[in-house]
Structure 1
Amino acid sequence: MPTGDWFAQFAAGEARGVSPVYERLALAVSDDGVLLRLLDTVPPPKRQPNLLFGVVRLLGGPVHDPAAFHDFTVANWTAVEAQLRVRATQTNEVGRCALLLPVLARLPQPLALLEVGASAGLGLFPDRYRYRYGGHTVGNGGPVLGCDLTGAPPPTTLPRVVWRAGLDLNPLDVTDPADVAWLEALIWPEHEHRRERLRAAAAIAAADPPVLVRGDLVDDLPALAAQAPPDATLIVFHTSVLYQVPAPRRTAFIDLVRGLPGHWISVEGADVVPHPELPAPPGTELHNVLALDGAPLAWTRAHGQGMTWIGS
């Protein structure tokens, strides 16, 4: 996909109605020949809008004014390019746990959680957060994760987690200020509630750090999965991760995870983990698909703010 089209699609499908700042900025970049030529000098995965915007914010650049963003990025392109090449969008959005809870709560307990693309591991604590599905609340501690749930009753219990581990090419450390700064730079400008949730979740993870392993999702997954307690249900899960993985490795991962014991939960775009005969999504905004063991269950919003059930 041409880089300009990517930014235009991001503006219309992801930022519209969610972040006016990023919608305006992405539209400007989509028509900015100078920036597009610079972006086309880095590998395609490194041209992602979220990545560019996060890097510029990390470097102290402006995002509210497209003209100022252009000037800063061009003037500081050497630093911007260097960060683009070594970083990835490791948005550790704890709100996505609200998408996982309806599935986790109904699986055989206790659970051993293994997250692929774990970033700092904040998604490994679904039992430590509080959830609000409309007027229904589950849990009584930690940050509140609100989710509009349609088509299914809300969960009534939290899962019982006895083991938690994460696999990532570059795990982040919530006790390292530089790593936390990158996590905060990835949160969209207007989303102060997400920044507050991130800080609260980081405090939970810092108090009881999960096992985070630096490794590849195919080569290193079996060894880590083998460490899960045998008397717990192994759950391998990932949210908005596989779009960053080349298609052949993505296929190899799916073949591998299907053969592991326990269950596999995915929250990915319909073009990333394909599902035949999906109904149309419930709106024009970007939606991902929540699936259990490859069977689609719900359309979901990117940050966990909503889900529409389609499965049983």
Structure 2
Amino acid sequence: MTTAQTYANFSAREARGVSPAYERLSLAVSGDDEVLALLDGLPPAKRQPNLLFGVVRLLGGPVEDPAAFHDYTLANWPRIEAQIRTRATQTNEAGRCAVLLPVLATLPQPLALLEVGASAGLCLYPDRYAYRYGDHLIGDGAPVLDCEATGVLPPLMVPEVVWRGGLDLNPLDVTDPADVAWLDALIWPEHAHRRARLRTAAAVAAADPPLLVRGDLVDDLPALVERAPAEATLVVFHTSVLYQLLPARRAAFTDLVRGLPGHWVSNEAPGVLPYDDLPEPPDDAHLNVLALDGRPLGWTRGHGQAVHWFG
């Protein structure tokens, strides 16, 4: 897929109906030869829309007006490029816990949670948040995570978590204002509710910081698994992480995680992991596949706002 096609696809399938600013901007970039030429000078993994747009937002540049974005990007490309080359998309959306909860609540309790691609670790606190599935409220924490659930009954309670650990190439610290600023920059422009949710979830994590380890999700995973308590059910999980890996590395991770004790929960775009049979998605929006131990269970929206269960 060319860079132009990547941006056009992002506009039509990910941003449409979710972020008018990014829908408009990514469509404009898909036809902007000057910006595309700059992007094509980067490694393929660094050309993605969320990374470019997040860096421009972090630097104070405009993302609402495509013409202003074009001018700013060309005028400030050395600064933008430097940030893109050193950063990664680390959207740490606590709302994704709402689509993980129907799986986590069914596993033998208590749980030892280990997230790969953990960013700042905000998804390691599903027991501390509250959830609203329609008019069904679960838990009494904050923030309250809203999720539309079809095909599955909402869980009756939050899970019991006795250990939480995360692995990331560049873990972020929720007590560091610069790291929180990057997480904020990755939130799409119109999503004020997600910014408020980030601040509340970050306060939860800062009050009881998780164990976050800098490392590779293949090479360093076994050592972190050894630190989890044996009396708890180990759950290795990830959301929108594996698409950033080359296929061979993805396969190595899959082979490794299948051999670990406990359970494996994945929430990745279709095509990232192999499945023998997937039903048709409920719509043409960009959806992830929620799976337990390699068995697909449902379609989910990227920020945790909906789960369509079929498992």
**Shorter-chain TM-score: what band?**
over 0.9
The residue that corresponds to 1:172 in the other structure is: 172
* Structure 1 residue 28 displacement after superposition: 0.3
Q: Which residue of 2 aligns with 1:30?
A: 30
User: Within 1, Cα distance between the matches of 2:227 and 2:175?
Assistant: 25
Deviation at 1:196, TM superposition (A): 0.4
Per the alignment, in what secondary structure is the counterpart of residue 4 of structure 1? helix
Question: SS where residue 5 of structure 1 aligns?
Answer: helix
Q: Distance in 2 between matches of 1:94 and 1:196?
A: 11
Q: Find the counterpart in structure 2 of residue 200 from structure 1.
A: 200
Structure 2 unaligned residues grouped into runs of 5+: none
Deviation at 1:247, TM superposition (A): 0.9
Matched AA of 1:136: H
Residues 56-98 of structure 1: CA deviation (Å, up to 9, x unaligned): 0000000000000000010000000011111110000000000
* Other-structure match for 2:147: 147
Question: Which residue number in structure 2 is paired with residue 238 of structure 1?
Answer: 238
Q: CA deviation at 1:274?
A: 2.0
- In the TM superposition, 1:1-312 aligns within 5 A as 1-311=1-311
SS at match of 1:165: strand
C-alpha distance in 2 between matches for 1:47 and 1:104: 34
SS at match of 1:96: helix
Q: CA deviation at 1:142?
A: 1.0
Provide the rounded CA distance (Å) in 1 between the counterparts of 2:99 and 2:273. Answer: 17
Report the 3-state secondary structure (helix = DSSP H, G, I; strand = E; otherwise coil) of the residue aligned with 2:13. Answer: helix
Displacement after TM superposition at 1:239 (Å): 0.2
Tell me by how many angstroms 1:141 deviates.
Answer: 1.2
TM-superposition CA deviations, 1:37-62 (whole Å, max 9, x none)? 00000000000000000000000000
Moved more, 214-223 or 272-281: 272-281
For the residues of structure 1 that align with 2:137 and 2:245, how far apart are their CA atoms? 35
Q: TM-score, normalised by structure 2?
A: 1.00
Q: How far is 1:158 from its partner?
A: 0.6
Counterpart of 1:35, as a letter, is V
Cα offsets for 1:241-269 (capped at 9, x unmatched): 00011111100000000000000000001
Runs of 4+ in 1 over 3 A off after TM superposition: none
Cα offset, 1:139, TM superposition = 0.4
- 1:10: how far off? 0.1
Displacement of 1:221: 0.2
Question: How far is the alpha carbon of 1:123 from its aligned partner?
Answer: 0.4
CA distance in 1, matches of 2:128, 2:52: 32
Tell me the amino acid that sits aligned with residue 60 of structure 1.
G
Q: Separation in 2 of the partners of 1:93 and 1:22?
A: 18
3-state SS in 2 of match to 1:100: helix
1:224-244 Cα deviation digits (max 9, x unpaired): 001110100000000000001
For residues 264-285 of structure 1, give each alpha carbon's deviation from its aligned partner in whole angstroms, at most 9, with x where no partner exists: 0000011101212101100010
SS of residue matched to 1:21: helix
Q: Deviations over 1:125-184 (max 9, x none)?
A: 000001000110100111010000000101111100000000000000001111000000
> SS of the residue aligned with 2:162?
strand
- TM-score normalised to structure 1 length: 0.99
Secondary structure of residue in 1 paired with 2:190: coil
Deviations 1:2-33 (A, max 9, x none): 00000000000000000000000000000000
**RMSD over aligned Cα atoms:** 0.4
Question: C-alpha distance in 2, partners of 1:74/1:303?
Answer: 31
Indicate the SS of the match to 2:9: helix
Distance 1:175 1:70 in 2: 34
Q: How many pairs align?
A: 311
